[in-house]
Structure 1
Amino acid sequence: MAGSQHTQTHPKFTWRFLALSANTRNVISITATTEREARDQSPDGCVMVFAGRLPVEEVRHA
């Protein structure tokens, strides 16, 4: 099957982290495919503590 295209999509999740910095503590949510991708989008200067992964619901229009 040399001519077939890979069309499988990777599901996205909402990743929750406790973002700790010298001055603040915040719970942040980032939508991404993987935890690594979510951590790459996190704010600079924060220590990110994993808190959870939630599925992202697709919007379907009737």
Structure 2
Amino acid sequence: MQSTQTHPKFTWRFLALGVSTRNVIHITATTEREARDQSPVGCVMVFACRLPVQGVSHA
């Protein structure tokens, strides 16, 4: 039997430090590990925060 429960997604914010660049990166993922796996290659990723993904409101 498969679980029907969905895992919440978050927006993970990192400071990406490269050899000559610094950027704030936002990645949508379920876990921090998943977000880090999607991060740019060759950057040191410094965790800044985790924000809930907001649903779209149709009024």
1:51 aligns with 2:30: no
1:22 aligns with 2:19: yes
Structure number with bigger Rg: 1
- Amino acid corresponding to residue 36 of structure 1 in structure 2: R
Structure 2: which 5+ residue stretches go unaligned? none
TM-score using structure 2 length? 0.91
Residue aligned with 1:38, SS: helix
Residue equivalent to 2:28? 31
In structure 1, distance between residues paired with 2:48 and 2:22: 13
Q: How many pairs are equivalent?
A: 59
Identity of aligned residues (%): 81
Residue aligned with 2:19, SS: coil
Structure 1: which 5+ residue stretches go unaligned? none
- C-alpha root-mean-square deviation of aligned residues, in Å? 1.3
TM-score using structure 1 length? 0.87
4+ aligned runs moved over 3 Å, structure 1 = none
In structure 1, distance between residues paired with 2:3 and 2:41: 35
